[in-house]
Chains A and B, each alone.
Chain A
Amino acid sequence: MKRKTSDTISIIVFLLPALILFFGILVAPIIISGYYSVFDWQFPFDKTFCGFQNYKKLFTTEWYPLWKGVKNVFLLAGLSLVIQLPLSLGLALMLGRGIKGERFFLSVNFLPVLISTVVIGLLWRRMYDADAGVINPLLRSVGIIGEENIQWLAANGDHLLMACIVPMLWQYVGYHMLLMYAGVKSVAPELREAAMIDGATTWQVDRFVVIPSMKQVLKVSVIFSVTGSLKSYDLVSILAGDRTYAAAVPSTVLMNTKSVGLYGMSSASAVVIIVLCFAAAVLINALFRERD
């Protein structure tokens, strides 16, 4: 098929704004970060080439706890998969069946997604407060903890990581619930009815009819949830601070090294984050394709 030159020009004109943004802000910085990451560079001094020393330092010293951070975000991603997403799916299935107050429940459950993460962080900070907070009294009233006053956010304490993970999991349940709800609703009612005529129970309809046909949405949710975990920052930073060890994530290491001018180390952390995100996305895509 022969194309007119004017068409080629049109294609370029229409693609240009997107390409400029994409290459200028996403692609070029990936390459530049890769380049910076092999330099020993303390801003504003000059940079000197150091090979993979930055990566080595990040993975072996506790001062820059990237390895700890990677382990923490793997835990977070794992918990997202076994707690956050099943919870979202359960809510979506219940709401998708059509239940009284469907609209109200959808609205309320989506609300935390719209509230600024900073506000949620500051709020949970107060709620966790050992003396004036609400988490300790609540847990005590249902008998989960005894008389002790747990210092949830004590710097590098045993509870710090879990205290950060809980609101992280909680905030985005509504996001995934609404995505999955869309998937549930897009299942043709005839399919549902046919299964019910065949004698399927509600649970069987969900398991064998609804869930298999929402594979696309589930894949999107899994990718967003896992990559979101790998690059998480906001709540950890507010609840535990950027210099935390116990609750370190790769992004806190990145921000911490950046704030003291260690741009080489910071860029190396960025490279690690993007490698993790890409690897996760490719892996998840492959797993979903295999199930076809």
Chain B
Amino acid sequence: MANDNKLGAPEGYTIKKSGPALRIISTILLIVWSIINLYPLFWMIMLSLKNNEQVNLTHKFGLPAGWPNKWHWENYTNPELHLERIVTYFKNSVIVTVLAIAIALVAAMMASYALMRFNWRASGAFNKMFMLGITVPVQVSLVPLLITTSELGITGSRISLIIPYAAFALSMAILISNGFMTNIPKELDEAAYIDGCSRYGVFFRIILPLMTPAISTIGIYSFLQCWNELIIATTLVTSEEMRTLPIGIRNLVGTNKVDYGLIGAGITIATIPMIIVYILMSRKIQESFIAGAVKG
């Protein structure tokens, strides 16, 4: 081994390749951590297929007693699960999240253009100010939002969630957008100006088309923030039909303290669409996330 390495290296040096032992240990650790990540999901699905009797007979690995003959699939068709409500919550969450991301995206790209492509003295200060926003917690706007929206009579409406979600996703979106925009050569702008394009023309014809890779990256970071948001949604949304998925599921399960299998079925149904999307797009999601980490 040592001799082999010496061949390619300068005299007196050796390359120590990571040995098989390290590789095996790493793989084992990774497998253990993967199991820790997957097991709760497995346990959740098992829970959703049990009746109360099986739930109370604790089984080490979470399998229902009497499996594989006694899967209680009827948990999923039980009318007390209120499937139609879960569908409504899901729809609300999708609408709120998508619109919030769209607003944050447009506002961020426009702001980036103003910050990165114009020479003006205060651009650095404005940029720093937006970056401070990354650490501002949603908690701070809670009571003011509650008061303001109730004065406007829009507490709990979709717009009362969309605007705050967009605002709290904005700083991160600007940070990522700046990173992507620096990679677009300024010569392109110059060429367009010579061809008679205005500032607005350059933004719409040159910058926006070249910023499409930023969309998925900003999208994934904003999504993680908006989709799970609980504090604002719990405070503002009071009506059943406007509930987003997190508060809807919490409420649905909270009112059902007796049937554990149903709880399992409820949270499984709320999770499955996300998992399917993730399985289909995991590569794209990870690459977009990574692009944000490198550019940010």
- Whether B197 sits at the interface, judged by CB under 8 Å, is no
Closest chain B residue to A259 by CB distance? Answer: B235
Chain B 10-27: CB-based contact to A (< 8 A → 1; otherwise 0): 100111111000110011
Residues B143 and A116 in contact, CB atoms below 8 Å apart = no
Residues B283 and A116 in contact, CB atoms below 8 Å apart = no
Selected from B140, B234, B246, the residue in CB contact (under 8 A) with A116 is B246
Across-interface contacts of B139 in A (CB, < 8 A): 231, 233, 250-251, 254, 269-270, 273-274
- Whether A260 sits at the interface, judged by CB under 8 Å, is no
Across-interface contacts of A281 in B (CB, < 8 A): 135
Q: Chain A interface: which of B56-64, B75-83, B184-192?
A: B56-64
Distance of A19 Cα from B127 Cα, bound (Å): 11
- Whether A51 sits at the interface, judged by CB under 8 Å, is no
- Whether B43 sits at the interface, judged by CB under 8 Å, is yes
Residues A17 and B111 in contact, CB atoms below 8 Å apart = yes
The verdict on A270 contacting B37 (CB below 8 Å), with A111-B278, A141-B60, A234-B230 known, is no
- Whether A191 sits at the interface, judged by CB under 8 Å, is no
- Whether A29 sits at the interface, judged by CB under 8 Å, is yes
Interface of A is mostly: helix
Selected from A3, A18, A234, the residue in CB contact (under 8 A) with B108 is A18
- Whether B30 sits at the interface, judged by CB under 8 Å, is yes
Chain A 1-38: CB-based contact to B (< 8 A → 1; otherwise 0): 10100111011011111110110111011101100100
Closest chain A residue to B8 by CB distance? Answer: A197
Residues A118 and B37 in contact, CB atoms below 8 Å apart = no
Residues A117 and B228 in contact, CB atoms below 8 Å apart = yes
Interface of B is mostly: helix
Closest chain B residue to A250 by CB distance? Answer: B139
How distant is A239 from chain B, measured CB to nearest CB, in Å? 12
Scan residues 105-152 of chain B and give those whose CB is less than 8 A from a CB of chain A.
106-108, 110-111, 113-115, 118-120, 126, 129-130, 132-133, 135-147
- Whether B286 sits at the interface, judged by CB under 8 Å, is yes
Distance of A234 Cα from B36 Cα, bound (Å): 21
Scan residues 220-275 of chain A and give those whose CB is less than 8 A from a CB of chain B.
220, 223, 227, 230-231, 233-234, 237-238, 250-251, 254-255, 258, 263, 266-267, 269-271, 273-274
- A-to-B contact residues, CB < 8 Å: 1, 3, 6-8, 10-11, 13-19, 21-22, 24-26, 28-30, 32-33, 36, 87, 90-91, 94-95, 97, 99-101, 103-120, 122-124, 126-127, 131-134, 137-138, 141, 170, 173-175, 178-179, 181-183, 185-186, 196-202, 217, 220, 223, 227, 230-231, 233-234, 237-238, 250-251, 254-255, 258, 263, 266-267, 269-271, 273-274, 277-278, 280-281
- B-to-A contact residues, CB < 8 Å: 9-10, 13-18, 22-23, 26-27, 29-30, 33-34, 36-38, 40-41, 43-44, 47, 55-56, 58, 60, 62, 103-104, 106-108, 110-111, 113-115, 118-120, 126, 129-130, 132-133, 135-147, 163-164, 166-168, 170-171, 174, 199-200, 203, 224, 227-228, 230-231, 234-235, 245-247, 249-250, 253, 260, 263-264, 267, 270-271, 274-275, 278, 282-283, 285-286, 289-291, 293-294, 296
Inter-chain pairs besides A109-B37, A116-B245, A126-B263, 19 sampled, C-beta below 8 Å: A7-B118, A7-B199, A11-B114, A14-B203, A18-B107, A90-B29, A97-B18, A100-B27, A114-B224, A119-B271, A133-B58, A170-B36, A234-B228, A270-B143, A273-B137, A273-B139, A274-B137, A277-B136, A278-B135
